[in-house]
Amino acid sequence: MSRPDHTHIPAAVMDITSAHDPVARRRRLVRRLALLATMLMLTVVAVSAYMRLSQSGLGCDGWPACYGTPSGHNPSSLMSRASSGLAWARVTHRVVASAMLVLVLGLVALTARHRPRLRREGRLALAVLLLTLWLAGLGAAMRGVTSPAVVLGNLLGGLATLALCWRLVVVAGAGAAPAPALRRWAWAGLLLVLLQAALGGLVDARHAATTCRYAAECADIVRSAGWDWRVLSPWTSSSLEGPLAADVRGAWLHLLHRAGALLLLPVLSVVAWKALRQGFSAQAIGLGLLLVLELTLGSLLAATGFPLLAVLAHNLVAALLLALLAGLA
């Protein structure tokens, strides 16, 4: 008489055990909270970009003649012109940022208080908490300050927090880990996207969006000043002064930003190709679509006069690219 087949019993038992495993339940809860933190942080990044771009004078009344003038990027004049939009943006930013801080505190407690500790998730949650506190402190200490260094601190801090939130979602999901080669390329792409974001932030902070439209025009401006790269410093000024320094600085930023885009295309293409080969199909497709959208938006900005909504979309797509790369790094 044949013996009964029990080959499927261990798997069923494992499924039941996994369903009642407290560590697995905590990981699922951490993943859900991290996903909520990612959405909150994406909202903070989008609202911050709207406030930063509006206060820099982008899309001011009488564009582009008003751009770069005191009335074109003065916060008080902007509040009187578009008080409802900026007022709601400020309120939204404060409410969502406060909710983000409470949520991250919960994530840190959830990963650290119970045994066994979720060490990888805990390290990521602690890093998100430190960045959140940094952003809160910077916002409180530098309220109303629009210097390039402060703009970069807020911009890069927000993007890094968003990337770490999504990284926490991926780690808590306990999925397959990317191969080392893919991770290296993802890190390269991540750093390039951060550099591109920094250059774009400096264009906003320096009111340099309309300095030049084409690469050849930008190169001519930089060449006329002897390729003086010292004007790029966010803290100190070079020997150049006045409108000439502003034009050269803006031309440098445009040139570097466009060169970075040319470099980003092959790097992210390799990341997407390697991700596809390793079974990360959704990430590969997402990277490809976002890359095409980002380059298309970037190429249209100068030609269309830097409309505020298009620049906001450009910023948001860069943030999504950064988050996807952080999940693969």
Arithmetic mean of pLDDT, 1-30: 58
Q: Are residues 224 and 277 in the same domain?
A: yes
Average per-residue pLDDT for the chain:
83
In this predicted structure, what is the pLDDT of residue 83? 57
16 assigned to some structural domain:
no
Q: Are residues 170 and 237 in the same domain?
A: no
4 assigned to some structural domain:
no
Q: Are residues 163 and 182 in the same domain?
A: no
Q: Minimum mean pLDDT among 73-87, 109-123, 221-235, 313-327: which range? A: 73-87
Taking each helix axis from N to C end, the angle separating 243-277 and 308-328, rounded to the nearest 10 degrees, works out to: 40
Q: Are residues 63 and 83 in the same domain?
A: yes
Q: Are residues 252 and 158 in the same domain?
A: no
Q: What's the predicted TM-score (pTM) here?
A: 0.84
Q: Are residues 213 and 257 in the same domain?
A: yes
Arithmetic mean of pLDDT, 204-212: 84
Separation CA 215–CA 164 (nearest Å): 34
The residue to which tokens 């060490």 are assigned: 119
Q: Are residues 183 and 328 in the same domain?
A: yes
% of the chain residues with pLDDT over 90 = 45
Q: Which domain holds residue 325?
A: 178-329
- Per-residue pLDDT band for 145 (boundaries 50, 70, 90) equals low
* 322, pLDDT greater than 90: yes
In this predicted structure, what is the pLDDT of residue 241? 57
* 103, pLDDT greater than 80: yes
CB distance 6 to 65 below 8 Å: no
| pLDDT tens digit sequence for 18-47 | 456 777 888 899 999 999 999 999 999 999
| Domain count along the chain | 2
- Per-residue pLDDT band for 316 (boundaries 50, 70, 90) equals very high
Q: Are residues 53 and 69 in the same domain?
A: yes
Q: Are residues 157 and 199 in the same domain?
A: no
67 assigned to some structural domain:
yes
Last residue of a domain, one of 157, 175, 193: 175
